[in-house]
Amino acid sequence: MLLCYVTDRQSLAATESGEPRKALLLRIEGAAAAGVDWIQIREKDLSGRDCASLTREALQRAAKSEAGRAARTRIIVNDRLDVALTENADGVHLGEKSLPVAEAKRLVVDRGARNNFVIGVSCHSLEAARSAARGGADYLFFGPVFATPSKAGVRRAPGP
């Protein structure tokens, strides 16, 4: 079992004082120090440049926070394969309507990314999960299982 922290700096703005980016980086550092396996940088509103900068700093902070731990925290970038490859992140998480997994795998090989680079996919139906598996996804997120305000009116939650 893996523990994954999916970032959302906008939600931190309402709960913590100061700049959301700074609050997010402190959360990333804390999550890495606590032994979280994966941190998914999911900041959909950022430009490529800002996403790359955030990813670079997240990688640095995670590495700094891992002293003495057996396993390191892996940084996964949401929906930005270009950023994940350029910044030497540990993987990319694709949306259901993003770049196909097989194409992402081809680009990863072409760019010479390390062998343990992971490609995951968000899936919202059984057929989408099967398609991601056929495409060679390393993992998938399925959901939402239960109703959630972030997906209200977008899709029906199938339940367990």
Catalytic entry in 9, 27, 80, 122: 122
Structure tokens at 97: 């309507």
Q: Under a CB-based contact definition with an 8 Å cutoff, are residues 28 and 66 in contact? A: no
First to last CA, the chain: 18
Catalytic entry in 21, 56, 72, 151: 151
Does residue 97 carry a catalytic annotation? no
Measured between alpha carbons, how far is residue 55 from residues 19, 84, 134 in Å? 17, 8, 29
Does residue 42 carry a catalytic annotation? yes
Q: Under a CB-based contact definition with an 8 Å cutoff, are residues 24 and 14 in contact? A: no
Catalytic entry in 21, 27, 42, 72: 42
Q: CA–CA separation, 144 vs 131, rounded Å?
A: 18
Residues with active-site annotation: 42, 122, 151
